[in-house]
Amino acid sequence: MAPRPSEFQLIAGLFAPLATTRNALGLKDDAATLPQKAGHDIVVTADAIVSGVHFLDADPADTVAQKALRVNLSDLAAKGATPAAYLMTLALPPSTDVKWLRAFADGLSADQKTYGITLLGGDTTGTPGPLTISITAFGHVPKGKMLHRSRARTGDLLFVTGSIGDAAGGLAVLKGEGRWLSHAVRDHLIHRYRTPQPRTALAKGLLGIASASIDVSDGLIADVGHIAETSGKRIVIDIESVPRSAALHGLWGDGRQALLKAISGGDDYELAFTAPERHTRRIMALSAKTGVSISRIGHVEKGEGVALRDSHGKPVKLPKASGWTHF
Amino acid sequence: MAPRPSEFQLIAGLFAPLATTRNALGLKDDAATLPQKAGHDIVVTADAIVSGVHFLDADPADTVAQKALRVNLSDLAAKGATPAAYLMTLALPPSTDVKWLRAFADGLSADQKTYGITLLGGDTTGTPGPLTISITAFGHVPKGKMLHRSRARTGDLLFVTGSIGDAAGGLAVLKGEGRWLSHAVRDHLIHRYRTPQPRTALAKGLLGIASASIDVSDGLIADVGHIAETSGKRIVIDIESVPRSAALHGLWGDGRQALLKAISGGDDYELAFTAPERHTRRIMALSAKTGVSISRIGHVEKGEGVALRDSHGKPVKLPKASGWTHF
């Protein structure tokens, strides 16, 4: 059932070069010391992804590795933290071959360079079930400055980065929708599903600006709902202000149903955050500096829950499925 | 395939009380800050366990939780670190019921009190495969003092805590061996398999005494082999000095084959460590103080690999299967 010993040694050989810090002891010690940074807190987060649940069996190995890593980096970005290191446990089905694992390690290696991080340790085991990857990621944030979900204030505005719904669109394409679309459009959406772009570049800039922040993983409505709930506020989303890509318009059109699908779909890994109106200019400057678009899509009120509003200010009913499940 | 949203909320409700530190933000924030300790390094380790590979489907939920946690605490103990906190990702098959999860959470809760630790965060997802638990654990060790595998010196003695082979015996009993044994004996062995006793009580005391240290998870021969390999030494084990329990004698007798099975079997989670001979008295004092037996079972030489020796000093051939696989 489990890979043979020689295979585990081979795996160790593939991953050892990813431990680019002395703290990791070349992955030979089953433990490491965490890199600490003077004047900073260490932020930690953990997420697991499972084949057939969070990614498709046929997804390329390097994108699977990158998705596993990036969903965690996205959590760090939402906290205003700069990523530093990660640990990984892998449960591998007997069918996993070395070529696949090599591409998987290459995907991690590329991302380590992109995000300036190192592997610190982990564990590989066999499983009779699907490939399961669990990652714990660490980042640094100036002491006491970590962004929380729970600190949205009445009167704050709601912002979101990038565009919303592309990942759900990409999954739909992978499942057979949009066969009439050009390859370029289909690939764009699939790429958005397979390889999220954690908004690491914005993390530092949001400190001292955002009052509350979350990454959009369960879906915009669900995640803004988490801010509303933990902050004890009501958040109103102007749904027609929610930024969507041309590719997504191509797939689903621009009707109301398309819009509701976009704001219910998961896996975007954009950031949704609240901030006082007076910081709007700084937010736009941050967007210009980083090249990441930031859109104002709503505001925070007294009350509870999430409310949707159209461009005439009329209430829109919440769609039934508004997050949580990936398929 | 995945549990329904309401189930995830229920799970969140079960685990939230385990986050007993403000750092964990009540598990509502998908991230936490790590508790830091002045003058100390943070040691981190990660291990995953899979149903049907590292534990049996029928094992009680609280022991499954405790095994998942304790295999990590055992790694920390081997580093000389005092445990502080952990994160956990759970991949749950659809068959997992609430009663089972409640017992699982109770098992964690009891261990948090035993070891003085807190849950910091994590993630729960569905899986079409077996229950998979991945834990990342953190501990503190005085700055620069973490114990390594790689620092055994020629002339050091080799020690091991507790007794060796009981976990392998317990697994054998669970698979049908030893039906003639008393319930008490069988239960003792099963308990040793299901709920390892990480040698946390010894961790601090080994700092400044042990030259190299590892926990016995793959099997005594395999793990002592890791010390030998990373230290660039040869380690000789006097096999008849390896401590075995009366219960294990009851199951397998005291012949040579029984002995070889004991030192090849995994999952004991005892500590094996090397130390200069001059520290023997301090080691015996540490044993007396903590109530954990410590046996001298060999020594470190120039060379490479692990060699076995009988009580007449004659070489004994290494058994073929000497670790790595759990079943």
Give which of B88, B132, B218 to mutate to test A binding, by max A Cβ within 10 Å.
B132
Task: Give the chain B residue whose CA is nearest to the CA of A148.
Answer: B29
**Out of A17-21, A218-222, B117-121, B242-246, least confident range:** A17-21
Confidence of residue B7 (pLDDT cuts 50, 70, 90): low
How far is A199 from A292, CA to CA, in rounded Å? 8
How far is A61 from A131, CA to CA, in rounded Å? 11
How far is A84 from A74, CA to CA, in rounded Å? 13
Residue among B279, B262, B291 nearest B200 (CA): B291
- Residue A271, strand partner residues: A215
Q: A72-95 burial, b for 16+ CB within 10 Å, e for fewer?
A: bbbbbbbbbbbbbbbbbbbbbbee
Percentage, residues of chain B above pLDDT 70: 95
* Cα B220 to chain centroid, rounded: 12
Confidence of residue A324 (pLDDT cuts 50, 70, 90): very low
Please indicate whether, in this complex, the C-beta atoms of A134 and B134 are within 8 angstroms of each other: yes
How far is B30 from A214, CA to CA, in rounded Å? 9
Instruction: Using a CB–CB cutoff of 8 Å, tell me whether A11 touches chain B.
Output: no
Instruction: Using a CB–CB cutoff of 8 Å, tell me whether A277 touches chain B.
Output: no
Residues of A in contact with B88 (CB under 8 A): 46
How far is B12 from B16, CA to CA, in rounded Å? 6
How far is B77 from A296, CA to CA, in rounded Å? 50
How far is B222 from B216, CA to CA, in rounded Å? 8
This model of the complex carries an ipTM of 0.90
User: Number of Cβ pairs closer than 8 Å across A and B?
Assistant: 211
Q: How many CA atoms lie within 13 A of B140 on its CB side?
A: 12
How far is A265 from A68, CA to CA, in rounded Å? 19
Three-class SS of residue A278? helix
Instruction: Using a CB–CB cutoff of 8 Å, tell me whether B25 touches chain A.
Output: yes
Structure tokens at B38: 């002045």
How far is A2 from A7, CA to CA, in rounded Å? 10
Three-class SS of residue B109? helix
Model-level pTM? 0.92
Check residue B13 and give its pLDDT.
84
Residues of B in contact with A32 (CB under 8 A): 43-45
Confidence of residue A10 (pLDDT cuts 50, 70, 90): confident
- Taking the CA of residue A171 and the nearest CA in chain B, the distance in Å comes to 17
In the stretch 307-326 of chain B, residues with CB closer than 8 A to chain A read 323-326
B265-275 tens-digit pLDDT: 999 999 999 99
Please indicate whether, in this complex, the C-beta atoms of A87 and B121 are within 8 angstroms of each other: no
How far is A252 from A178, CA to CA, in rounded Å? 8
How far is A216 from A206, CA to CA, in rounded Å? 16
Report angle CA A77, A82, A87 to the nearest 5 degrees: 90
Average pLDDT over residues B128-134: 97
Contact between B81 and B206 (Cβ < 8 Å): no
How far is A247 from A250, CA to CA, in rounded Å? 5
- Taking the CA of residue A42 and the nearest CA in chain B, the distance in Å comes to 5
Work out whether strand B305-309 and strand B234-238 pair parallel, antiparallel, or are unpaired: parallel
Check residue A26 and give its pLDDT.
72
Residue among B103, B106, B132, B112 nearest B19 (CA): B112
Check residue B36 and give its pLDDT.
87
Please indicate whether, in this complex, the C-beta atoms of B226 and A325 are within 8 angstroms of each other: no
Q: What is the CA radius of gyration of chain A?
A: 20
- Which ranges of chain B would DSSP assign to H, the alpha helix? 5-15, 61-78, 98-115, 166-174, 183-194, 200-206, 220-231, 246-252, 256-264, 280-290
Instruction: Using a CB–CB cutoff of 8 Å, tell me whether A211 touches chain B.
Output: no
DSSP code per residue over B211-268: SEEEE-SS-HHHHHHHHHHHHT-EEEEEGGGS---HHHHHHH-SSHHHHHHHHH----
Q: What share of chain B is helix, strand, coil (3-state, %, to 5)?
A: 40, 25, 35
Question: Exposed, middle or buried by CB within 10 Å (0-12, 13-18, 19+), for B57?
Answer: exposed
A174-213 tens-digit pLDDT: 999 999 999 999 999 999 999 999 999 999 999 999 999 9
In the stretch 100-159 of chain A, residues with CB closer than 8 A to chain B read 120-123, 125-130, 132, 134, 136, 138, 141, 146, 148-150
Residues of A in contact with B128 (CB under 8 A): 50, 52-53, 129-130
Percentage, residues of chain B above pLDDT 90: 83
How far is B205 from B217, CA to CA, in rounded Å? 21
Percentage, residues of chain A above pLDDT 90: 83
Which helix (H) or strand (E) segment is A285 a member of?
A: helix A280-290
In the stretch 282-301 of chain A, residues with CB closer than 8 A to chain B read none
Instruction: Using a CB–CB cutoff of 8 Å, tell me whether B9 touches chain A.
Output: no
Confidence of residue A321 (pLDDT cuts 50, 70, 90): low
Residue among A31, A152, A147 nearest A87 (CA): A31
Residue A127, pLDDT above cutoff 50: yes
Please indicate whether, in this complex, the C-beta atoms of B31 and A78 are within 8 angstroms of each other: yes
Residue A47, pLDDT above cutoff 60: yes
B44-94 tens-digit pLDDT: 999 999 999 999 889 999 999 999 999 999 999 999 999 999 999 999 999
A68-87 tens-digit pLDDT: 999 999 999 999 999 999 99
Average pLDDT over residues A34-51: 94
Please indicate whether, in this complex, the C-beta atoms of A132 and B326 are within 8 angstroms of each other: no
Q: A293-312 burial, b for 16+ CB within 10 Å, e for fewer?
A: ebbbbbbbeeeeebbbbeee
Confidence of residue A8 (pLDDT cuts 50, 70, 90): low
How far is B108 from B250, CA to CA, in rounded Å? 32
Check residue A20 and give its pLDDT.
84
Confidence of residue A25 (pLDDT cuts 50, 70, 90): confident
Check residue B324 and give its pLDDT.
39
Which helix (H) or strand (E) segment is A263 a member of?
A: helix A256-264
Task: Give the chain B residue whose CA is nearest to the CA of A92.
Answer: B50
Task: Give the chain B residue whose CA is nearest to the CA of A29.
Answer: B149
State phi, psi for A8 to the nearest 5 degrees. -65, -40
Check residue A3 and give its pLDDT.
44
B183-231 tens-digit pLDDT: 999 999 999 999 999 999 999 999 999 999 999 999 999 999 999 999 9
Average pLDDT over residues B231-243: 97
Residue A150, pLDDT above cutoff 90: yes
Please indicate whether, in this complex, the C-beta atoms of A32 and B47 are within 8 angstroms of each other: no
Residue A1, pLDDT above cutoff 80: no
Check residue B5 and give its pLDDT.
52
Instruction: Using a CB–CB cutoff of 8 Å, tell me whether A235 touches chain B.
Output: no
Check residue B3 and give its pLDDT.
44
Check residue B267 and give its pLDDT.
94
Q: Under the phi-then-psi rule, with left for phi > 0, alpha for psi from -120 to 50, and beta for the rest, what region is A321?
A: beta
**Out of A109-123, B25-39, B101-115, B195-209, least confident range:** B25-39
Q: B122-140 burial, b for 16+ CB within 10 Å, e for fewer?
A: bbbbbbebbbbbbbbbbbb
A250-295 tens-digit pLDDT: 999 989 999 999 999 999 999 999 999 999 999 999 999 999 999 9
